[in-house]
Structure 1
Amino acid sequence: MKQFHFIWLLCMAFTPGAYAQHSHDSLARHQTNNYLKVTAKKSALAGKKLMQGNTKTLDAYILKLQHLHKKVALVDRQIADQLFPGLMAKATALRNQLQSAAQAPAAYFGYLDTLQGSIKYIGQQAAADQNIYLRSKKAVESLQNSLSVTEQTSNLIADGKREIMAVLAPLQSFSAELGGLEKEVYYYKQQIADYKALLTDPKKREEKLLAILRNRPEFQNFMAQNSLFASLFNLPANYNAARSLEDLQTRTQVENVLQRRIGSEAAGRQIASQQMDAARSRFDNFKSKYASNGNVDEVPSFKPNPLKTKRFLNRLEPGGNIQFQRANYYFPTVVDIDAQVGYKFHKSGVVGVGLAYKLGLGQGWAHIAFSHQGFGIRSFLDWKLRGSIYINGGLEGNKPAGFHRIRELKNWNGYQMSAMIGLCHKVKAGAKKTATTTLLYDFLAARQLPGSQPFKIRFGYTFK
C-alpha cells in the first residue's frame, strides 16, 4: 500500500499539467456558473423595469392625448379629429400587446451584444451547468425583447410628439400642454438611458470572467464571427489579428485601379459618383436604423432636472467621518465615529442624518485606555457653493456620558445640543468614493457643560 502511494505521488509530481488542468476546469465551471447567475438576475430585473416603464409611460401618453383631444376640439374640432384619434389608436394597440409585441430592429447595444455572445460561447463550450445556462439564455432573450419593445414605445411617442407640435405650435395657445408633453418624452428617454447604464455596470464576478474570456483567442474569433457588430459590418474572422501593412494598398494604387476601371471620361466618373451617392444613402438609412436617439432636434427647450428619473435608492449617499476632541479635566481624548446617509434632493444639495459613537482613548500616549463615552444623533445639509466647496450645517444632539451596557442608553435625558455651520471640501477618491474635509463652528459650544471647542474638523468619505 505504501509503495502504491509512493508511485501515485511520483506520477502527480511529474504530471502537474493534468492536475492543474483539472483544477482550472473546475474553477472555470464555477466562474461561468456564477457569471450566468449574475447576468440572468440582472437581465430579468432590467427587463421587468423596462416593461413596467413602458406600461406606465404609454398609459400616461394615452391620457395626455385624450386631454389634448378635448382641449383642441374646443378651438378647432376638425384639427382635433384629424390628429388625435390615429395617435391614440396606435398607442392603445401597442399598449394592449406589450407582452407579445414582435421584435423590431433596435439601436445597437454593445453590452447586450457582448452578453449574448459570451453566453452562446459558454453554451457551445459546455463550460457551465445546463440548467443555469438555459435560465441565463432565456433571461437575456427576454431582455432583448424588452429593449425592442422599449425602442418601439420610444419611437411611437417621439413621432407622436413631432406630429402634435407640428400641428399645434402655429396655434400658439397650447404652449403649456406642448411643454408638458416635451418633458414627458424627454424624461422617459432619460429613464431608459438610466436603466441601460445600470445594466452595463458590471459586477465583480461578471467583470472577472469577461476579462478572462476576452484574453482567449478562441473567444475573440467566436465574437468576430457571431456578434451582431461583426454581422453588421461583415468583419473577417481574423479582424483582431495583428497584421503587417505591407499588403495594404496605398492611395495612389487605389486611384490607379479606379482610373483603369472607370477611365478618365466624364461618363465613367458620373457613374462612380452615382454609386457613391447610393452607398451614402444606404449608410444614412443604416444610421437612422441603428443610431441612438440623441439627435440635435431632440435637444429639449427646457432645463432638464438630472434627478427627475432617479429612484429613491439611487439618490442615497452613504458615508461616514471621524472627529477628534482633546482630553480635559472631565473627559479623556474622544474620537467621534459617525455613520451617515444623505438624500440628494437637488443637483447641488444633499440632506441627511447620522449616528455618532464616542470612543474614549485615554489621557495621552502614556495612559491609552479605550472606553465608551456616549453617542450622538446628527442632521446635516450640504449645498454646493462653487467647484468642490460646499456649505455644511446641521443640528446635533450629543450625550457625552460614559456607559457600560447598551440598556443604559435608554435614558434620553442629558443631551447637549449643537448648531453647526461651516465649509466642506470634497475630492474624488475613486469611481464611487469621495473624500471630505469639513470645518464647522458650533454656535452652542459655550452652553455645553463642560464647555467644548467651538471649531471642529471632520475627515470622512461618501460612497456613490
Structure 2
Amino acid sequence: MNLIQKFLLFTVMFSYTSLYSQDSLLQQDLLSLPTKYFNKLQEKYESLGESLDKRAAKMLNKARKSEERLFKQLWKKDSTKAKELFGDVRTRYAQLQSQAKDRAAKLTVFSKLYSGRIDSLTTSLKFLEGTNLVPASIREKLPKGMEGLSALQGKLDQAEIIRKALQDRRKELTAALAHSGLGKYVKDFNKQVYYYQQQVNEYKEILKDPAKLEERIFGLLSKIPAFKDFFVNNSQLGQLFSLPGATAPPGSQSGGSLGLQTRASVM
C-alpha cells in the first residue's frame, strides 16, 4: 500500500476518534445510542434518494425540452439532418432513464460512484448487525437502514450515468451544429446540461458531511480492532484499494467505461 492509500484510509477510519476520550466505556457508549435514530435511518436516506430522483428528473426534462427546440429549429433548415441527429427525442430520453437504472444495478464495487459517508455507515451497520454491541431491538432495524443506503447509492449511480451521457450529447451537438446558425439554442441546451451536473454535485456535497450521530457510531467502532479488520474486507474503499487482507468479489471488473469514479480516480 503506498503512502496516498494509507493516508486516505487513515482519514476515513480515524478522523472522528479524537472526539472521544480513550477512557470512555465503549460498549456503554454504543448502548446509549438512541433507538429512534435507527428507526429513522431508512426513512432519512430513502427521502434523500427520492429528492435526488425528483430534482434530477426535473432537470433532465428541461434538457429534453431544450433538445426538442433545437430539433425544431434545425428541421426548418435541414429536415434530413434533423432526423439523423435527433431522431425521436422524447423516446431517447425515456430510454436514457431506463438504461441508467439497469446499468446502475449491474455496477461492481469498482465502478460505483464512491461516497465515503455511505460506505462508512453501511460498513458500520453491517458490523453492528453481527455483534452484541447494541441491543437486539436495534440490530433488527439495521437491515432497513442498509436498504435505504443501498437505494441512495443506486440513485447516485443512475444520476452519474445520466450526467455522463448528457455531457457526451453536449459535445456531439456542439460539434455537429457549430456552423448551423443555431448557437442560441445550442447554448441553451449546454446550460441545461450544466444545471444537471450541478444538481448531481450538490448531492455529492451533502453526503460529505455526516450527521453527529453518524460520526459518533463510526468514531466508537473505529476503536475496535475487529472493526478495523472488518472495514478492510467489507468496505467499498477497502476493495477499491485492494487493501492487505481484502478479497475482491468474483468477476469484478473496472467500470471506467461508464465514466464513474473508479479506483484510479479515487487515488
- Secondary structure in structure 1 of the residue aligned to 2:177: helix
Using a 3 Å threshold, how does the CA distance of structure 1 residues 228 and 29 change in structure 2: closer, same or farther?
A: same
1:144 alignment counterpart: 153
The separation in 2 between residues aligned to 1:55 and 1:284, in whole angstroms, is 24
- Secondary structure in structure 1 of the residue aligned to 2:123: helix
* Contact 2:129-2:142 at 8 Å conserved across structures: yes
* Contact 1:72-1:80 at 8 Å conserved across structures: yes
* Alignment RMSD (CA, Å): 3.1
Structure 2: gaps spanning 5 or more residues: 1-24, 247-252
Greater share of helix: 2
Show the 5 A alignment for 1:295-374.
Answer: none
* Contact 2:163-2:197 at 8 Å conserved across structures: yes
2:117 is the alignment partner of 1:119: no
Ranked by relative contact order (alpha carbons within 8 Å, sequence separation 6 or more), the top structure is: 2
Greater share of strand: 1
- Secondary structure in structure 1 of the residue aligned to 2:165: helix
Larger Cα Rg: Structure 1 or Structure 2? 1
Q: How far apart are 1:164 and its partner, in Å?
A: 1.0
**Residue number among 127, 131, 141 corresponding to 1:132 in the alignment:** 141
Using a 3 Å threshold, how does the CA distance of structure 1 residues 213 and 161 change in structure 2: closer, same or farther?
A: same
Using a 3 Å threshold, how does the CA distance of structure 1 residues 215 and 196 change in structure 2: closer, same or farther?
A: same
1:110 alignment counterpart: 116
Show the 5 A alignment for 1:175-186.
Answer: 175-186=183-194
2:77 is the alignment partner of 1:50: no
Q: How far apart are 1:41 and its partner, in Å?
A: 3.9
2:163 is the alignment partner of 1:157: no
* Contact 1:40-1:139 at 8 Å conserved across structures: yes
2:177 is the alignment partner of 1:168: yes
Using a 3 Å threshold, how does the CA distance of structure 1 residues 160 and 202 change in structure 2: closer, same or farther?
A: same
The separation in 1 between residues aligned to 2:26 and 2:36, in whole angstroms, is 15
| Amino acid of the structure 1 residue aligned with 2:185 | E
In the TM superposition, what whole-angstrom CA distance separates every residue of 1:114-158 from its partner, at most 9, and x where no partner exists? Answer: 122112111122535244212201111111111121122212222
**Equivalent pairs, count:** 227
The separation in 1 between residues aligned to 2:96 and 2:206, in whole angstroms, is 26
2:48 is the alignment partner of 1:40: no
Using a 3 Å threshold, how does the CA distance of structure 1 residues 205 and 109 change in structure 2: closer, same or farther?
A: closer
Q: How far apart are 1:290 and its partner, in Å?
A: 2.2
1:213 alignment counterpart: 221
Report percent identity of matched pairs. Answer: 24
2:85 is the alignment partner of 1:76: no
* Contact 2:67-2:189 at 8 Å conserved across structures: no
The separation in 2 between residues aligned to 1:82 and 1:55, in whole angstroms, is 26
- Secondary structure in structure 1 of the residue aligned to 2:33: helix
* Contact 1:106-1:151 at 8 Å conserved across structures: no
Structure 1: gaps spanning 5 or more residues: 1-22, 239-281, 295-464
Q: TM (normalized to structure 1)?
A: 0.44
